[in-house]
Amino acid sequence: MNRHFDVIIIGAGAAGLMCAMEAGQRGRRVLILEKSGRAGNKIRISGGGKSNFTNLNMGAEYFLSRNPHFCKSPLARYTQWDFMDLLSRHGLTWEEREHGQLFCNQGATAIVDLLLEQCRNAGVAFQYECEVGEISRGEHFQLRTSQGKFSSTSLVVATGGPSIPRMGSTDFGLRIARRFGLKSIPFKPALVPFTFPPGFIARVSRPLAGISLNTAVSCNNAHFREQLLFTHRGLSGPVILQISSYWNKGDHISVDLLPDRDAGDWLRDEQGAHANRRLNTVLGDQLPRRLANILCEQNFGNQPLQGFTHGQLAEIGATLNAWQLLPSGTEGMRTAEAATGGVDTRELSSRTLEAGKVPGLYFIGETVDVTGHLGGYNFQWAWSSGWCAGQVA
Ligand code: FDA
């Protein structure tokens, strides 16, 4: 095997496969080095096996980054419509779910198969179970790997982020960035459930485990409205995963349990109409009954509405509309769906993803400091950034 390639891509995930396919179609000799035994592992398990591969509503506002403008160019050059077009040209179809999320009807593996077929047709070579070690740069990039030495003119780092370490995920991309003198922002778990102190678990989340309700949750000027789920370990559900990306240790989150109404006004109206009804019964009309009971037992008391002053009802209403909770932490990388942080975007061209200080070196996908909201945004970032690098590498 000739061990010199035009382009070596480290990582056969979403971004690496897209980049390989595009560079291969331009006639570049491309090799992908993948440390696991197969490609697209995170695509295969995504979206409950159906892969939430993109979202109809796309824009920079759905991404976190030190530079919120960085993702605009890649997202505009390779859009969600382009990826949908790729799928439909190969006979794949999708289902739209809430908030514009698209899931593949033929399953996540069909997307991996499509990308692999396109890569094969473009002559891309694959080396699996290949662990990359030392990388140096003279005239070319030289890579020492568990399968011998390789060299390339361009090197694309597509090793993803460190979430779900049992899948072999690491911060390898940041180590390469450091090796070449590029700045990076440490990875931090994102899209991850919250944990709570033992008292809250015993009194609230464990007795309510399995119950979910529609809430609006805020933290650090970010707001989301989706389902919240009580669990044996704390809180989860889409709204919690979303807000976790904006949370820092020590921050409270504010949970609006009745996002469609001013709870204080509503309770005063109820008092006028049904003065003899107990508070837990009234709250149980709008909230899961077990939650209403626990809130009354532990916070509000449980007398008939006539026993509360207007001031007390206003206070109870304020708590229902802005329940202040202090998570003790998150479940960490072990269950995080993504990680914030990555290679500092100031080091990269937003058009090509090439490192300004190291011509020929590219970073794409989750290794870059661009992290999407829940809902197909992280895959779209992988497709878009991979495509951009694939046009020039
Ligand atoms: P990705 O992690 O896909 O690929 C990196 C590849 O590099 C891996 O194959 C890895 O083995 C390889 N690698 C790492 N280090 C290496 C080394 N040193 N040498 C060689 N190879 C190396 N997003 C979304 O938009 N919709 C969804 O439905 C979901 N669902 C979802 C579920 C779960 C459980 C998780 C954990 C994540 C998601 N995501 C998601 C997030 C999404 O999976 C993620 O953002 C993308 O896979 C990132 O694509 P990358 O190509 O950057 O990394």
Residues 322-342 have pLDDT tens digits of 999 999 999 999 999 999 999
Distance 171 CA to ligand 1 centre (A): 12
Confidence of residue 170 (pLDDT cuts 50, 70, 90): confident
Which ligand 1 atom is nearest residue 145's CA?
19
Query: Is residue 107 predicted with pLDDT exceeding 80?
Result: yes
Q: Which fold has domain 4-189+335-390?
A: FAD/NAD(P)-binding domain (3.50.50)
Average pLDDT over residues 40-44: 97
User: What region does 48 belong to: left with phi over 0, alpha with psi -120 to 50, or beta?
Assistant: left
CA 187, CA 208: separation in Å to the nearest integer?
32
Query: What CATH class has 194-330?
Result: mainly beta
347-359: burial string, b at 16+ Cβ within 10 Å, e else = bbbbebbbbeebe
Closest CA to 144 of 161, 131, 126: 131
Whose CA is closest to atom 35 on ligand 1? 337
**Residue 205 carries which side chain, given as an amino acid letter?**
S
237 backbone dihedrals φ, ψ, rounded to 5°: 95, 160
Q: Give the list of residues 6+ apart from residue 377 with CB closer than 8 angstroms, or none.
A: 55, 58, 62, 63
Which ligand 1 atom is nearest residue 161's CA?
2
Whose CA is closest to atom 16 on ligand 1? 159
Query: Is residue 2 predicted with pLDDT exceeding 80?
Result: no
**Distances from the Cα of 252 to the Cα of 221, 323, 332, angstroms:** 12, 10, 18
CA 339, CA 187: separation in Å to the nearest integer?
6
Distance 101 CA to ligand 1 centre (A): 18
Q: ipTM greater than 0.85, yes or no?
A: yes
Query: Is residue 166 predicted with pLDDT exceeding 90?
Result: no
Among 157-171, 197-211, 250-264, 274-288, which stretch is predicted with the lowest mean pLDDT? 157-171
CATH 2.40.30.10 in the chain: give the residue spans.
Answer: 194-330
Query: Is residue 246 predicted with pLDDT exceeding 70?
Result: yes
Q: Give the list of residues 6+ apart from residue 387 with CB closer than 8 angstroms, or none.
A: 18, 19, 22, 74, 77, 78, 82
CA 392, CA 367: separation in Å to the nearest integer?
19
The best mutation among 159, 176, 343, 369 to test binding of ligand 1, ranked by most ligand atoms within 8 Å of the C-beta, falls on 159
87's tokens? 């799928």
Long-range contacts of residues 87-93, Cβ cutoff 8 Å, at least 24 apart? 87/53, 87/111, 87/114, 90/114, 90/117
For ligand 1, residues with CB inside 6 Å are 10-16, 33-36, 41-42, 45-47, 51-52, 131-132, 158-160, 163-164, 168-170, 172, 337-338, 365-366, 376-379, 382
The best mutation among 46, 96, 172 to test binding of ligand 1, ranked by most ligand atoms within 8 Å of the C-beta, falls on 46
The best mutation among 42, 126, 331 to test binding of ligand 1, ranked by most ligand atoms within 8 Å of the C-beta, falls on 42
The best mutation among 119, 145, 337 to test binding of ligand 1, ranked by most ligand atoms within 8 Å of the C-beta, falls on 337
Distance 325 CA to ligand 1 centre (A): 31
Distance 195 CA to ligand 1 centre (A): 24
User: What region does 274 belong to: left with phi over 0, alpha with psi -120 to 50, or beta?
Assistant: beta
Distance 93 CA to ligand 1 centre (A): 22
Distance 346 CA to ligand 1 centre (A): 23
% of the chain residues with pLDDT over 90: 98
| 59-99 residue pLDDT tens | 999 999 999 999 999 999 999 999 999 999 999 999 999 99
Confidence of residue 1 (pLDDT cuts 50, 70, 90): low
- pTM listed for this prediction: 0.96
CATH 3.50.50.60 in the chain: give the residue spans.
Answer: 4-189+335-390
